[in-house]
Amino acid sequence: MLSIPKGTKDVLPSQSYKWQFVEGCARDVARMFNIREVRTPVFEHTELFARGVGDTTDIVNKEMYTFQDKGNRSVTLKPEGTAGVARMFIENGLASSPLPMKSFYITPCFRYERPQAGRLREFHQFGVEIYGSPSPSADAEAIFAASAFLKKLGITDTRLEINSIGCKTCRAAYNAALRQYFEPHLAEMCPTCRERFDKNPLRMLDCKEEGCRRITAGAPAILDYLCPDCASHFESVKKLLSAQGIAYVVNPNIVRGLDYYTRTVFEFVSTSIGAQGTVCAGGRYDGLIAELGGPSTPAVGFAAGLERLILLMENTGVPFPAPPAPAIYIAGMDEGSRAKAFALCGELRAKGVAAECDLMERSVKAQLKYADKSGAGYVAVIGETELAEGAVNVKRMADGTSKKVSFASICDYINNVISGGNNNG
C-alpha cells in the first residue's frame, strides 16, 4: 500500500468546496483592492531563499526542501511566497511599471517541520505583496486587505497584534540592548538562541521554547529604541487603522520569522486553534528587493495559511456555503430512456445548468438514491410513458412537489426555477 507522505494532505471531493470558498474569498478581496494575481515557480534556486528569507531563520536553517536536480543545480521547493515574487519583480524590471505593484498569490509552500494540527510539510498560503510605497498607508492597506479577507470568511475571533521592529539605524542600538539583557541568561537558553545571540539577537524573541520564552518576556522592548522616523511611521499606521475602525493590540514581542522585515510587523492570532494560532502574518520589508540585487524598493505584505483558516472555521463553527450539487438528476428506466436522459443532460449543460444522469447502469431505485445523496435540487424519471408523451414530471426535492414539463422546455424550466432561487444547488 502506498501512503501519502508525512505532513501532507489530500483534499477529497467532498471537502474541496471549502477550499474553493476560501480561495474565492481571497480572489474577491484582491479584486476589491485592485490586487493582481501573480504565479511564480514552485521551485527556485536555493540561493534565492538563502538570501531572501535569511540565513538566521528556522526556515533556511532547518525547514527547506532542498535537492540537487539532474543538472546538479541546488533547487528548493518554495517555503514561502515573497522571495519568488521579489525575484519576479526584479527580473522583469517591474520597478519601472506603474507603482505600487499590488499583487497576490495562492500557492503551496513546503517546510520540513514536525507535523501537528495546523502545521504541515506542504501547506498553502494566500499572500499579498505591495511594492514601491514607503508610506504608512501601504502598511495599512496590507492590513486592511488581510482584515477584509478574514471578515469575508466569517472569522471574527482573531486579534490583530502589531509591532514595529525599526530600521537598520534603531536596530543597532536595540541589538546592543538585547545582547546586554540576554548575556547573563545565555547558559539557560536553547542552542539556537545562543547562536542567534551572535548573529541576530532580535530573532531570540521569536523562540518557541518554554524556557527561552520566560527569559525573553523580560527583554527590553524595541518600541523604546525606535528612531524618530520609525516611531512616527508606526504612529501613522496606528492612526490609519483606528480611522477605519480596525482594532489592534501592540505586542512588542512580535518579530516575525523572516530576516528581511523592517518597521511594521503584524499577526492575526486566533485563540481557538491552540498553539498554531497565527492564521495570517505580515509586515514591511524595505530591504528585501535591494538585498536580492534589485533597485531599492520599499515593500509590505502578508501571508495567510489556508489550512489554519479552514481548521479555525471548522473548530469554531464558522459556516461554509453549501457544497455544490447538480440542479437536476435525470433517471432513466430502460435503454431508450437512459439515452434520452443523457441527451437532455447534454442540452442542460450546454445552457449552463449542472445536470447529471446514471453512468453506473443502476436500477431506477438505486439511481434515485444516488440523486438524493448527491443533493440534486430536482429529479426527473424518464420511462416509456414519458418518452411517448415527450414530457416528464420534474420533482423538487426540497418539498416533494412536482410539475410536468415537456422535454423541449426542461432547460427553460430549470433555468427559471434556479434564477428564482428555488433550487438548492
Q: Residues touching ligand ATP: how many (CB under 6 A)?
A: 18
- Tell me the window of 118-126, 150-158, 222-230, 400-408 that interacts with ligand ATP (CB under 6 A): 118-126
The yes or no reply on residue 338 touching ligand ATP (CB under 6 A) is no
Does residue 321 have a cis bond before it (omega within 30 degrees)? no
Strand 262-270, strand 278-284: pairing: antiparallel
CB of 171 to ligand ATP, least distance (A): 19
Longest dimension (CA), the chain: 93
The yes or no reply on residue 120 touching ligand ATP (CB under 6 A) is yes
The yes or no reply on residue 78 touching ligand ATP (CB under 6 A) is no
Residue from 125, 262, 264, 297 touching ligand ATP (CB under 6 A): that is 125
With a CB cutoff of 8 Å and minimum separation 6, the contacts of 159 are 247, 249, 268, 269, 270, 271
Which helix (H) or strand (E) covers residue 404, if one does? Answer: strand 402-406
- Ranges within 88-117 binding ligand ATP (CB under 6 A): 111, 113
CB of 24 to ligand ATP, least distance (A): 19
CB of 337 to ligand ATP, least distance (A): 50
What is residue 116's DSSP assignment? B
Residue 375: which region, alpha, beta or left (left: phi > 0; alpha: psi -120 to 50)? left
Could you tell me how far CA 132 lies from the centroid of its own chain? 23
The yes or no reply on residue 278 touching ligand ATP (CB under 6 A) is yes
- C-alpha cell, 234: 508606526
The yes or no reply on residue 276 touching ligand ATP (CB under 6 A) is yes
| Residue closest to 414 by CA, chosen among 298, 321, 300, 329 | 329
Determine the 3-state secondary structure of 316 from DSSP.
coil
In the complex with ligand ATP, which residue's Cβ is closer, 75 or 279?
279
| Residue closest to 222 by CA, chosen among 260, 254, 174 | 174
- Is the distance from CB of 290 to CB of 85 less than 8 angstroms? no
Residue from 44, 80, 139, 358 touching ligand ATP (CB under 6 A): that is 80
Could you tell me how far CA 77 lies from the centroid of its own chain? 17
Q: How many Cα atoms occupy the beta-carbon half-sphere of 386 within 13 Å? A: 26
In the complex with ligand ATP, which residue's Cβ is closer, 146 or 325?
146
The yes or no reply on residue 281 touching ligand ATP (CB under 6 A) is yes
CB atoms closer than 10 angstroms to residue 36: 11
Cell 501519502 -> residue: 4
Determine the 3-state secondary structure of 257 from DSSP.
coil
The yes or no reply on residue 128 touching ligand ATP (CB under 6 A) is no
CB of 159 to ligand ATP, least distance (A): 13
The yes or no reply on residue 279 touching ligand ATP (CB under 6 A) is yes
In the complex with ligand ATP, which residue's Cβ is closer, 110 or 234?
110
Residues 33-72 as x/- pattern, contact with ligand ATP by CB under 6 A: ----------------------------------------
In the complex with ligand ATP, which residue's Cβ is closer, 314 or 372?
314
What is residue 69's DSSP assignment? -
In the complex with ligand ATP, which residue's Cβ is closer, 79 or 377?
79
What is residue 265's DSSP assignment? E
With a CB cutoff of 8 Å and minimum separation 6, the contacts of 121 are 5, 6, 7, 8, 65, 110, 111, 112, 113, 115
CB of 184 to ligand ATP, least distance (A): 27
The yes or no reply on residue 358 touching ligand ATP (CB under 6 A) is no
Residue from 21, 123, 149, 261 touching ligand ATP (CB under 6 A): that is 123
Residue from 119, 179, 194, 349 touching ligand ATP (CB under 6 A): that is 119
CB of 375 to ligand ATP, least distance (A): 31
The yes or no reply on residue 301 touching ligand ATP (CB under 6 A) is no
- Tell me the window of 180-188, 222-230, 278-286, 290-298 that interacts with ligand ATP (CB under 6 A): 278-286
- Rounded-to-10 torsion of CA 411, 412, 415, 420: -150
**Burial classification of residue 212, based on how many CB atoms lie within 10 Å of its CB (0-12 exposed, 13-18 middle, 19 or more buried):** buried
In the complex with ligand ATP, which residue's Cβ is closer, 82 or 297?
82
CB of 391 to ligand ATP, least distance (A): 54
- Helix-helix angle 191-199:168-182, to 10 degrees: 140
CB of 312 to ligand ATP, least distance (A): 10
The yes or no reply on residue 307 touching ligand ATP (CB under 6 A) is yes
Residues near ligand ATP, by CB under 6 A: 80, 111, 113, 118-120, 123, 125, 257, 276, 278-281, 303, 305, 307-308
